[in-house]
């Protein structure tokens, strides 16, 4: 089978000039068998099992990157929600398990390990409570550990008590890392309709439906999509734009499928899913905000952004679904504000407000991601922001998430620098009006009619 | 099957008999190994001294790989099964193609197809190369990419499968 010159140059250009890469290969490891009445023994088992299964992950991923000439940027691990693993110990402080995860991540050389997690859509177990209490310290004291909490789902409704407690956790985590711009909150996310096979941090974990070990892949590609749209030019109609995005997404997803299958084969584990999400980075040109502008909005966050994002998310899914029979995870377009240069610029220019961002999350693949607000934002305002986002996910049968950073000592318009993949944020204005009475009520928002599908 | 042996197990079970019997697939934690060694306790399986087993990836790991739908792979034993696509771009001068093809031959490659274009003093070359049996792709790639020189030309090597997966349904 031979290729035309155009095909070859297109692929080389994608990798060389348009920052196409495999964003993450994430090895999922089930830790349920590590449960132990003695917390110290549980930590020992967790450390040993992760080392045992993931010791070759970085080497294998790097060798595939070398063999195919396609960079694999991050190698990560996702584990069973730690509330389930720690439950048998009866411990009220699960921080030692976070330390065990962190030490294992260090030993195998991955940058993040996700799964300091709990599902509390309908209520808390004692272990969920212990996990909540442990999160701020666990995230402040570890480097690689990420925590995620499922607060709501279309099936169960929104656990508003849990939303309230989550806000307390966020504020405490920010406070404990005040000297680092509230960095702990960048490793903490809450979900509505959490997905069990998400390879991307901070929400990566392996839920009960997953096998013993599984290899999931997340692709990248905003730069590739933007370039393809720019070549199409401003006169092409929207069907042509959608078609171009579909074709590009197909090619990007196929790279993910190839790398995922090959990594799984070399590790001897099962291949799980390709997450088709267009994942931006702070690198110039690797921006979903830029893609929206290439589709035709003046600035990301301007009127028309929700429509453009809807077209983008849907076309990415259609192209990707043709390329792989194993599409999963979040699969759409991420719009993490601080991790996307186009979005940062849009905030700086006053084009992207929090309210518009919320509207855009109703059609993107995740939610309010890497949003910085002043450290003194009232509790009930953050509560309202999260509750609104959960409601969008619940009513629309989609995954929504909130990763919000109330940065201590900073006020609206100031900049906070986290560095690396987490990028730079401009503190956004959450407005003065929250929901004090709603916050005080407690209880649950019942599951909507959409949840009763049987 | 016993899945783990921890420090606590070592202290409890090794206290009297100085020997602990585990299954072949049991995972002895690094801390337990250390504790056993310090206390002079040997950890054995039915087949002798315990060594770290191959990771057990679960009951359906192999199946989940073999049941994947087919992708556009070449026919078994096809000449292009381990082919590389070499691209080079740079300032045009005499002897560039020769330099690259010589390096390919030295690295164990056989040029299958070549196209070269020169536009306004710059060239680009695309070569489809069949690697000789047993040749390592990574070594080949390293050898070729080492030819790159910032002021002269750049060489990039990618596996043929990448192009096949991207451009064929």
Please report, for residues A386, A405, A412, A435, B137, the alpha-carbon distance to residue A376 in angstroms, rounded to integers and kept in the order given. 16, 11, 11, 16, 56
Residues 40-59 of B with CB under 8 A from A: 52, 54-59
Tell me, what DSSP letter sits at residue A18?
S
Task: Give CA angle at A281 (A279, A284), nearest 5°.
Answer: 125
Q: B28, B43, B50, B57: which to substitute to probe chain A, counting the most A Cβ within 10 Å?
A: B57
The reply to whether residue B138 touches residue A12, judged by beta carbons under 8 angstroms, is no
Task: Note the pLDDT of residue B80.
Answer: 52
Tokens of A350: 């006053």
| β-pair type (A400-407, B48-49) | unpaired
In Å, the largest CA–CA distance within chain A is 67
In chain A, which stretches have pLDDT less than 70?
A: 1
Tell me, what DSSP letter sits at residue B132?
P
- Scan for tokens 């950890």, then name that residue: B43
Q: Is residue A410 part of a domain?
A: no
Look up the domain containing A185 and give its range. Answer: 21-192
| β-pair type (B83-91, B153-159) | antiparallel
Q: How far apart are the first and last CA of chain B?
A: 45
Q: Is residue A280 part of a domain?
A: no
Tell me, what DSSP letter sits at residue A336?
B
The reply to whether residue B167 touches residue A11, judged by beta carbons under 8 angstroms, is yes
Tell me how far apart the alpha carbons of residues A47 and A99 are, in angstroms, rounded to a whole number.
Answer: 9
Task: Note the pLDDT of residue B75.
Answer: 52
Q: Is residue A241 part of a domain?
A: no
Q: Does B2 lie at the interface with A, CB-CB under 8 angstroms?
A: no
CB A149 within 8 A of CB A120: yes
DSSP A382-441: HHHHHHHHHHHHHHTTS-EEEEEEEETT--TT-EEEEEGGGEEEE-----S---HHHHHH
Cβ count near A78 (within 10 Å): 32
Of all residues in chain A, the one with the smallest CA distance to B2 is A33
Task: Note the pLDDT of residue B81.
Answer: 60
Tokens of A322: 């043709």
Q: CATH number of the domain at A136, please.
A: 3.20.70.20
In chain B, which stretches have pLDDT less than 70?
A: 73-82
Domains and CATH numbers, chain B: 4-56 (no CATH), 83-167 (3.30.70.260)
Tell me how far apart the alpha carbons of residues A20 and A12 are, in angstroms, rounded to a whole number.
Answer: 10
CB A45 within 8 A of CB B2: no
Chain A residues whose beta carbon lies within 8 Å of the beta carbon of residue B159: 67-69
Q: What is the pLDDT of residues A114-166, one digit of tens each?
A: 999 999 999 999 999 999 999 999 999 999 999 999 999 999 999 999 999 99
Chain B residues whose beta carbon lies within 8 Å of the beta carbon of residue A269: 55, 57-58, 61
Tell me, what DSSP letter sits at residue A328?
-
CB A293 within 8 A of CB A300: yes
Q: Is residue A144 part of a domain?
A: yes
Q: What share of chain A is helix, strand, coil (3-state, %, to 5)?
A: 50, 20, 35
Q: Does A106 lie at the interface with B, CB-CB under 8 angstroms?
A: no
The reply to whether residue B163 touches residue A7, judged by beta carbons under 8 angstroms, is yes
Percent over 70 (pLDDT), chain A: 100
The reply to whether residue A41 touches residue B7, judged by beta carbons under 8 angstroms, is yes
Chain A residues whose beta carbon lies within 8 Å of the beta carbon of residue B124: 9
Q: Is residue A77 part of a domain?
A: yes
DSSP B3-20: -EE-HHHHHHHHHHHSEE
Task: Note the pLDDT of residue B78.
Answer: 55
Tell me how far apart the alpha carbons of residues A63 and A71 are, in angstroms, rounded to a whole number.
Answer: 10
Domain count, chain A: 1
Please report, for residues B8, B26, B46, the alpha-carbon distance to residue B5 in angstroms, rounded to integers and kept in the order given. 8, 7, 15
Q: Does A1 lie at the interface with B, CB-CB under 8 angstroms?
A: yes
Q: What is the pLDDT of residues A209-264, one digit of tens each?
A: 999 999 999 998 899 999 999 999 999 999 999 999 999 999 999 999 999 999 99
Element housing A114 (H / E): strand A112-119
Burial state string for B76-114 with b = 16 or more CB within 10 A and e = fewer than 16: eeeebebbbbbbbbbeeeeebeebbbebbeebbbeebee
Q: How far is B95 from chain A (nearest CA, A)?
A: 22
Residues 6+ apart with CB under 8 A from B67: none
Q: How far is A191 from chain B (nearest CA, A)?
A: 28
């Amino acid at each position: 089978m031979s290729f035309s010159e155009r095909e070859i140059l297109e692929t080389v250009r994608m990798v060389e000039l348009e920052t196409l890469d495999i964003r993450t290969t994430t090895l999922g490891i089930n830790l349920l068998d590590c449960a132990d009445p003695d917390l110290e023994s549980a930590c020992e088992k967790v450390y040993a099992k992760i080392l045992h299964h993931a010791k070759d992950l970085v080497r294998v991923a790097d060798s595939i990157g070398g063999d195919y000439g396609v960079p694999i940027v991050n190698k990560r691990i996702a584990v069973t929600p730690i509330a389930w693993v720690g439950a048998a110990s009866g411990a009220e402080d699960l921080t030692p398990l976070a330390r065990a995860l962190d030490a294992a991540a260090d030993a195998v050389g991955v940058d993040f390990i996700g799964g300091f997690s709990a599902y509390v859509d309908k209520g808390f177990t004692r272990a969920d409570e212990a996990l909540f209490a442990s999160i701020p310290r666990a995230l402040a004291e570890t480097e690689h550990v990420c925590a995620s909490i499922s607060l709501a789902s279309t099936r169960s409704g929104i656990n508003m008590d849990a939303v309230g407690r989550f806000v307390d956790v966020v504020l405490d985590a920010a406070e404990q890392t005040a000297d680092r711009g509230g960095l702990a909150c960048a490793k903490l996310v809450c979900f509505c309709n959490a997905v069990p096979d998400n390879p991307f941090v901070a929400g990566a974990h392996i839920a009960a439906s997953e096998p013993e070990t599984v290899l999931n892949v997340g692709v990248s590609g905003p730069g590739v999509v933007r370039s393809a749209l720019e070549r199409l030019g401003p006169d092409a109609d929207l069907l042509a734009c959608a078609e171009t995005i579909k074709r590009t997404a197909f090619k990007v997803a196929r790279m993910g499928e190839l790398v995922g299958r090959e990594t799984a084969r070399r590790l001897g584990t099962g291949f799980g899913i390709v997450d088709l999400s267009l994942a931006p980075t702070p690198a110039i040109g690797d921006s979903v905000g830029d893609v929206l502008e290439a589709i035709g909005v003046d600035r990301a966050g301007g009127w028309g952004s929700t429509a453009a994002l809807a077209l983008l998310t849907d076309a990415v899914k259609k192209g990707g679904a043709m390329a792989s029979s194993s599409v999963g995870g979040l699969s759409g377009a991420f719009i993490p504000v601080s991790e996307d240069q186009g979005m940062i610029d849009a905030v700086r220019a006053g084009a992207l407000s929090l309210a518009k961002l919320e509207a855009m999350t109703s059609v993107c693949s995740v939610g309010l991601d890497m949003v910085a607000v002043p450290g003194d934002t009232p509790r009930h305002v953050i509560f309202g922001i999260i509750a609104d986002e959960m409601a969008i996910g619940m009513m629309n049968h989609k995954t929504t998430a909130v990763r919000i950073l109330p940065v201590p000592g900073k006020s609206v318009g100031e900049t906070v620098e986290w560095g690396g993949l987490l990028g730079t944020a401009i503190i956004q204005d959450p407005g003065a009006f929250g929901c004090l009475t709603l916050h005080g009520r407690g209880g649950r928002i019942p599951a909507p009619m959409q949840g009763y599908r049987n | 099957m016993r899945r783990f042996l921890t420090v606590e197990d070592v202290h409890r079970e090794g206290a009297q008999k100085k020997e602990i019997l585990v299954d072949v697939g049991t995972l002895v934690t690094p801390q337990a190994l250390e504790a056993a060694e310090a206390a002079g306790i040997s950890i054995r399986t039915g087949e002798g001294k315990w060594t770290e087993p191959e990771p057990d990836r679960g009951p359906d790991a192999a199946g989940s790989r073999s049941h994947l739908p087919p992708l556009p792979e070449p026919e078994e034993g096809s000449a292009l099964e381990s082919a590389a696509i070499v691209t080079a771009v740079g300032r045009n001068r005499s002897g560039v193609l020769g330099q690259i093809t010589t390096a390919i031959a030295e690295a164990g490659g056989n040029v299958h197809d070549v196209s070269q274009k020169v536009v306004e003093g710059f060239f680009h070359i695309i070569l489809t190369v069949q690697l000789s049996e047993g040749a390592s792709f990574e070594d080949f790639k390293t050898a070729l990419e080492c030819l790159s020189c910032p002021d002269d030309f750049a060489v990039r090597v990618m596996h043929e499968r990448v192009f096949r997966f991207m451009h064929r349904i």
